Structure 1
């Protein structure tokens, strides 16, 4: 049984000693270790059963420490992004400082870095005095944790769990790669392509094409999956069985023949609200013995809708093959 509480000083001491600490951020709970200690970082991979080819994110508490994680000279655009969005749900990828262990970056020459917007996370990082390597605090490929209870359910071998309530964004950070005057979206999140284009009109902003290799966390085809079969619908189906649950991101007129449990994630179609709830609801449905399968109706891939569909497709991949043709249509 892992120890849990709100003792940030104790948790930061554990980080310095090479131990593993789960902690809340504004996106999801992370599983942290000293990002400069290769042996400690190996512990993250072991606890999560995560493959070593999947890189991690380093968390810092101040943009003033960017030169400890990125190689100099640092692109001025990185500082502009940090000034605009940090602390917040944006992860920046650039060439790493040589002190960053290869295990953190899966051998890549670049490293992913962000500053979380959560008081417990920021205090933990400051007290630890090191960048904290932290993927989501769940078993590899499983649902991301948005509550401390989700961490306790999945990770039994870590050293400490900082309890900080439910996360308010509920999906992982946007990840961008920066080169010259160009921003490439490697993983969509709450900070959207359209928002970046508005805030940086003189910068080229592009969405990542399908890559032959992993450049950043969260780029695997199968990820964020519930233990029960999960399928996507293009539109609301006419027939819904009594052994299933249906997730909706906006109100629909439910057919009279529907017998599934229906979960409306936003009464007015607010996708940010829906995103903040989706992982938590999926965790609840995993534990519901009356639910054998889970369905969701797709959303428009604009704004945060792109991030939602990224997570839903990866959650469905191991059940359907994740191509649009392979997704369930009934």
Structure 2
């Protein structure tokens, strides 16, 4: 299969592919998603096949408006409507109870709930409207690998497996949306992301957090709760600010190249060894979140490092989302000062 590249001026052609049951990757403000008609079960199943994604890992349904959500979900609560009014379009995914039989089990992972999102990307909103159907959209990558923040990342993983990629340049935020479960009694954040818990609480009051790793026989309500995510080929080690001198000394002693991902400030205060390959995370946690997946992919596709040293941030605001992704990519592995 040839994978076509589409742009804003060829959205109609991309939409026709969606209507025909084909897979089209699309941009959002967070990462690129792999799109298929959410009402076409055969097309949805192809998403799992193309990604190598476990079938009990539910998909996020992307919509162009609230009216589409109302077509499939149970009546929306006042808090849910307030969230949509405040944060949509934007990086907030909301899990809702569905009307019986509204969407296939291929979309929901067999649950009675589904996750909905209204992305803040005009090109993709135009695609959804042109296709005339809601579009499922997990990250457009090989399952378990770092999420794609540019069209070239999608092409690297999925060319020949999907019909096309709608290219709208690099994404803005770089880490996926916040997933908020509104299907129960207490609003619960299942995945931190572009909308912080503080911002959510300012709108609807108290929210709970549940980022636990679900059990072997448990179906996750949100992506990233059960299976390995965001992992490059090299082993990632998370480094705290005060550990950089020791970490870089350790790196210099390695016989193979070592990737180093830090802000400009950390790199200016420390000497990168001759065998160290530096990738800039920018100036702060916001730029670091934007550049994280791009950096991991850089070392996957353009380097041969065995280890990647990556900068730790405090788990505050966007830092919580950054660290959530970084800890998963590292398998929770932090740099440990070698014993003397």
TM-score by length of structure 2 reads 0.88
Q: CA deviation at 1:280?
A: 1.1
Counterparts of 1:1-330 in structure 2, within 5 Å, are 1-6=2-7, 7-71=10-74, 73-97=75-99, 98-156=101-159, 157-179=161-183, 182-200=186-204, 203-208=205-210, 210=212, 211-212=214-215, 213=218, 214-220=220-226, 222-234=228-240, 235-238=243-246, 239=249, 240-241=251-252, 243-249=257-263, 251-252=265-266, 253-255=269-271, 259-267=275-283, 270-317=284-331, 322=332, 326-330=333-337
Q: Is the 8 A contact 1:77 1:181 kept in 2?
A: no
The two structures, once aligned, show a CA RMSD in angstroms of: 1.8
Q: CA deviation at 1:88?
A: 0.3
Structure 2 segments unaligned to the other structure (5+ residues): none
Structure 1 segments unaligned to the other structure (5+ residues): none
Q: Is the 8 A contact 1:222 1:316 kept in 2?
A: no
Q: CA deviation at 1:209?
A: 5.1
**What is the rounded CA distance, in whole Å, between the counterparts of 2:273 and 2:46 in structure 1?**
50
SS of 2:188's equivalent in the other structure is strand
SS of 2:56's equivalent in the other structure is coil
Higher helix share: 2
**What is the rounded CA distance, in whole Å, between the counterparts of 1:328 and 1:221 in structure 2?**
23
Q: Is the 8 A contact 1:275 1:308 kept in 2?
A: yes
Q: CA deviation at 1:221?
A: 5.1
Q: 1:103 to 1:251 in 2, by over 3 A?
A: same
Q: 1:180 to 1:327 in 2, by over 3 A?
A: closer
Aligned residues: 318
**What is the rounded CA distance, in whole Å, between the counterparts of 2:227 and 2:137 in structure 1?**
20
